[in-house]
Amino acid sequence: MDVLIAGAGPAGSIAALVLARAGARVTIVDRARFPREKLCGDTINPGAVAILRRLGLGSVIEGGLPIEGMIVSGEQGVRVVGAYGGGHYGVSLPRRLLDARLLDAAVAAGAAIEEGVLVQRPLTTSGGRTVTGLELTTTSGGTDRRAAAVTISADGVHSRIARAVQLARTPAAPRRWAVGGAFRGVSGLTQLGEMHVRARHYMGVAPLPGGLANACVVTADRSALRTPGLLLRTLQADRDIGPRFAAAEMVAGPSILGPLAVDATAAGMPGLLLAGDAAGFIDPMTGDGLRFALRGGELAAVEALRILEHGWQDAHSELARARRREFGGKWRFNRTLRAAAASPGAVRAAGRTAAMTPALLQYAIRYAGDTGVA
């Protein structure tokens, strides 16, 4: 085949869609069967919405709730409301629906999907310097060595492919874990996403269709994750949002994900391109992970098409340059926030700054929402 994609999440599905529309023979493999649950904030920011509409995928977000901006709160009563403005809006939609719809769109464009297939390792030649395909475990339990002109690794934060060829690693610090779920009976929900930053953790809340709410807690205290009922108890104990969860009932979850940061040393190697979380995972506190995934999948597909047309001409390096041009500013912004959130003192200082100059935080909300993306 022309292109073999590992991972049928947003990055893999968008890459497959772009490739199939261009006439490439592309197959996606994934260990899951769709629709499947996925821990996420369940919000698609304005920049990601703009990408979907540009690709003719506006129907994918039908039935979602419009998100008009963000509420950000800190300690000592700091609370700032920031609208995206300018006609920009995000959408809240459960990931099980979003991912299944994106995959359906890729298949409708001509991509093939093989579910329940586990990636074991990349196939390599030239002393491990070139990837030529993947070794898979099929649904029957057999081994399949699948060759492809181009392989795209979109198999997530714990990518077997990127780690096998030593292109990805988990940094020593900061390390945080997320625990999240869906709730019924949460009061005070609006058409705004919420981020509540505290000295030792932060909490995200978003309205979902059907009167539900997505809520998650992100903490550096890994041992706390073993405590039964941590998620709801942390939400209820918070002085600001706790009363809104007093009658809440968890209807899905809890799910745990982490560590939340993964650094990629390159965007690929000969025969292999990285996309989505496999190409580097950003702490989700800014809510722009899906925009990275969608656009990153598109960029990988563009380079794959160039390979198919012109041969391999250092495409992984060109992909790295394209990703830096596209994401460099947001990476720096996110790393700054990620480091600040790891320091209780920095959290308190940021709260004082926001209280005195709320316009700065309102600007940060619009920037985090990628409102300038077209």
Place of tokens 């495409």: 315
- What are the sequence ranges of the domains in the chain? 3-37+95-170+261-339, 43-93+177-257+343-374
In the numeric block, the tokens 């809340």 are attached to: 205
Q: What is the dihedral of CA 134, 296, 169, 132, to 10 degrees?
A: 20
DSSP 273-309: EE-GGGG-B--GGGS-HHHHHHHHHHHHHHHHHHHHH
CA distance 34 to 7: 12
Whether residue 277 contacts residue 260, with contact meaning beta carbons closer than 8 Å, is answered with no
Retrieve residue 193's tokens: 């996403």
Distance between CA 27 and CA 176 in Å, rounded?
34
What is the CA angle 46-47-53, rounded to 5? 85
Assigned fold of 43-93+177-257+343-374: D-Amino Acid Oxidase; Chain A, domain 2 (3.30.9)
* Residues 328, 348 contacting (CB under 8 angstroms): no
pLDDT at 282: 66
What is the Cα–Cα distance from 62 to 14, expressed in whole angstroms?
18
Residues contacting residue 32 through CB under 8 Å, at least 6 positions apart: 8, 115, 116
DSSP states along 106-172? HHHHT-EEEES-EEEEEEEEGGGTEEEEEEEE-TTS-EEEEE-SEEEE---TT-HHHHHTT-EE--S
In the three-class reduction of DSSP (H, G, I as helix; E, B as strand; rest coil), residue 267 is classed as coil
CA–centroid distance for 183 within its chain? 21
Which positions ≥6 away from 120 have C-beta within 8 Å?
A: 134, 135, 136, 137, 143, 160
Q: What is the pLDDT of residues 232-271, one digit of tens each?
A: 999 999 999 999 999 999 998 788 887 777 788 899 999 9
What is the CATH topology of the domain spanning 3-37+95-170+261-339?
Answer: FAD/NAD(P)-binding domain (3.50.50)
Cβ atoms < 10 Å from Cβ of 125: 12
Model pLDDT, residue 320: 95
Predicted pLDDT at 234: 93
- pLDDT for position 109: 98
Q: Evaluate whether 173 touches 192 at the Cβ level (below 8 Å).
A: no
CB distance 196 to 240 below 8 Å: yes
Closest of 125, 98, 85, 121 to residue 41, by C-alpha: 98
Query: What pLDDT is attached to residue 337?
Result: 67
Mapped onto helix, strand or coil, the DSSP state of residue 37 is: coil
Residue 344 is predicted with a pLDDT of 57
CA–CA gap between residue 242 and residue 101 (Å, rounded):
34
Q: State the burial class of residue 244 (Cβ atoms within 10 Å of its Cβ: 0-12, 13-18, 19+).
A: buried
pTM above 0.75, yes or no: yes
Distance CA 268, CA 213 (A): 37
Q: Residues of the chain whose pLDDT is less than 70?
A: 174, 282-286, 337-358, 361, 374
Per-residue model confidence as pLDDT tens digits over 178-198:
899 999 999 999 999 999 988
pLDDT of the residue at 356: 58
